[in-house]
Each structure stands twice: as C-alpha cells, then as structure tokens.
Structure 1
C-alpha cells in the first residue's frame, strides 16, 4: 500500500463517507491507496485491515510485502509462470493494521 501525499479530488472515503479533501480544510486527512488502486482515509483502511486482509471496496487481497522463504525448494523447481502471491493471515493483517494506525 502507498501513502498519498497529494490530496485527491473532493470525494468521500468509501468506508466513512467523509470528504477526503474537504474545501477550506486546514489539513486534509492522510490517505492510503491499496494495490488495487482504491483510496481510503488511512484510519479507515487501518481499521478495516484489522478485520480482513483485503480491500474494503473490491475485496482484492492485500498482499504480504515480503514472501517467506520456502523450507524445501528442492522438490519443485520454480517456474516463471508461478503465482508469487502470498496472503496475510489474520495475525499479520492485524499487525499491519496496527502499524498503519500509528
């Protein structure tokens, strides 16, 4: 996920429905974008990730930023077509959500 530095056009957060860039606001809320491109208030996304490791809007899985090493790579060679997707388990999703909230 990436933090957005530039305010987005005035539109509501899909979770809390508050404007993410309210006109005349001194400081806009911090925004976060998921790998699938959806933008949320960072607090809304953080809270959502504590419950499920997926985009709150389209339910696309939020991938683990690091892939754990396989314990035994000798049995099956890796191919270029192999899907490298690693999904977060519930405890990893909660830890990620907590770290985003800080």
Structure 2
C-alpha cells in the first residue's frame, strides 16, 4: 500500500505533466494564429472575445479534470516505479497526451 505522504509529491508532479499536456495544444494554436495574416477587422466587444476564449478553453478544462482524476490511478499503479519528479511529470504528460489522441 502506498504511503500517502511520500506519494503526494508524485501526484502533484503528475498533475503538472497533465497541465502541460492540456495547455500545449491551445498555446500552439495561438502561436500559429499569431503568425497568420490578419483577418479583416470586425466589431467585436469584450464579451464576445471572452466568450470565444471560454468556448476554446472549456473542452481542455474538462479533459484536464478527467485526466487529473485518472492520475490517481497512474500513481496507484506506477507509484513505486516513479522515483523522480521528472518521471512523474512524464507519466502525467504521456497519459494525457495519449488520451487526447484517442478522443
């Protein structure tokens, strides 16, 4: 049985890997759109901008929440094999990246 106090840091770093995996796709989409030619300007208020950002972000938040819950299972199964923070980050990243490819 895993020691909760010892394995809690693994969970945190696993979550960090998931956060990285969740944030990378919209960040790269933003970077690509920043280098695209500008679209003709239209009348867009702050509310419309916030709503479009929220619409883009919501699926990634749901995916991150589902993955964070699953990271409990990752640590339960692979906990003894994860000995470093880097391994925990990679375990979380690999899980979430795989999940995103399966969706």
Question: What's the TM-score, normalizing by structure 2?
Answer: 0.27
The TM-score normalised by the length of structure 1 is 0.27
More helix by share: 2
Q: Which has the larger radius of gyration?
A: 2
